[in-house]
Chain A
Amino acid sequence: MNFSVKQRIRYVLSELGQIAFLIKDIFSSLLTFKIIWRDLLFQIYSIGVKSQTVVLVTGGFTGMVLGAQTYFQFHKVKMDTATLAVVSVSLCDELGPVLTALMVAGRVGASIAAEIGTMRVTEQIDALRTLATHPVDYLVLPRMIAAQIALPLLALEAIVVGICSSYLVCVHILGIEHVYLWENMLLYTNDVDIVIGLVKAFIFGGIIALIGCYKGLTCGLGAEGVGLATTEAVVYSSITILITNFFLTLVMGKLVGLL
């Protein structure tokens, strides 16, 4: 038992070390390699545009459920018109970036790990290296930058769709007075809430691409290796997003004076 714990710790430290080396390579690539715009735009399309359905459904239904639940509680204390303000702040600070990142981790993180993992097992990454191309320049950097551009935009989209769908539920189904609802939302939602959400989404984008690429580049051989890398990419990036979100909330709360 003791031995297996030791082995586990060694494995985790080894993985963290390899991720640190990958981050170093990414920075080195960022400083020395000229980004090929066509590759970057393709990745933005692949990560951002192709995630539209997932993000719209997530944002829309999260906003509607949150609006309804908040109304059920606030109605008891006659605070119906504060419903959209709670929905808006929750979506901007937490739910928008976190749920978007979790959904994109499932779709994009898995896809990145599977694509790069398949390239590894079919020797395409070795072929890249023999063609004098660094795998980090060609595979990792465009995905990192694209994810960090796409995630804030997707999170913003989820927030807007969530607020709009919640507004529709509150006004047309729950019968809340729309003027007070809207004015209260504007009163209690600050610019800083949106900035916090976008900063979080930017960081989550980096986490998804980094873990997806790392798992792909280091995946085991054969179909089993690719399958495992794909699963681990989704699980590890989701867990990392949730843990990072807690610390980001504390740090940014401190920075903007909420703590």
Chain B
Amino acid sequence: MNNSIIHSYNKFSELKKRNFYKLFIIVLLLIITLIIFFFSLSNGSVELSMNNIFTSIASMGKAENSHIIWNIRLPRIITAILVGASLSLSGAILQAVMRNPLASPGIIGVNAGAGLGATIIIIAMPIYFYYIIPAAFLGSLITSLAIYLLAWQRGARPTHLILAGIAVASFVSSLTSSIMIAFPERIHGTVDFMIGSLNAKTWSHVKICLPYTLTGIILTLLLAKRINILSLGDDVAYSLGINVERTRILLITISSLLAASAVSVAGLLGFVGLVCPHMMRLLIGSDHRFLLPASIIFSAALLTFCDTIGRIIVSPVEIPAGIIMSIIGAPFFLYLLKRKKN
């Protein structure tokens, strides 16, 4: 009997080894994120001493000369971390729920909806410009809801969701375009929103993002096992005791809220939600107990890094993070793909 127990535990040692390797990668990512955090904090268009940085943070912005660190750089970096984490998590959830590695927050209409909400305010009602974020948020959620309802037929199957998503997103985008055509002199403002940047993000942006990101992360990590089983197919998931439809609604809701909060604050950063989880899947596999934390940490780091590069490359002019992400991210992604093939 003792022998068989030892034998059984040995059986799992192979599995344990691989899980340790995955955990190691996650810890590595965490360390890289920390390094990038400090890199980002100490670089910008204004030279600051390490002393300044420490006193600024320690005094929570009350000390002299702490304005740049405490009110400009720090909230911007934290927003980048939250936005990156949210978008990537949202994408990872959708890729699991839709059982499609090409799924992204765009599929559930978040981008189109946020674009419409923001455009309506910027162009048609610029007086209410401080309502841009809530409008974008509302736009995302309404669009996601519309897609879900459209795809619902005694349950929402992934293929239906994807098709409904494409249809609704196109429709909403055309609405956005129509508004832009009707007020052509005001198009200026929308371009900045469409590209996605972390320009001039303040603590108020952090406050908007934080509750959604934290809640989303905690909830999703708790559901990680369930998500694993969902990827085995609806039937098998039901058989193993999961209420598939309820879980799907829950996950899509979490995904929508995460993406909506991120996009309404930072604009349409398309790359993160699609490619980051996919990159992590190539690196760490599709066990969501590891994939989700890895995606969150990786994209937080990536977005912060890209924003920092965008800030220092042609300082003091700034290049939006979205653009840098596409330039850096695309080749890196291709490299990972190639490695996987071999």
A binds B: no
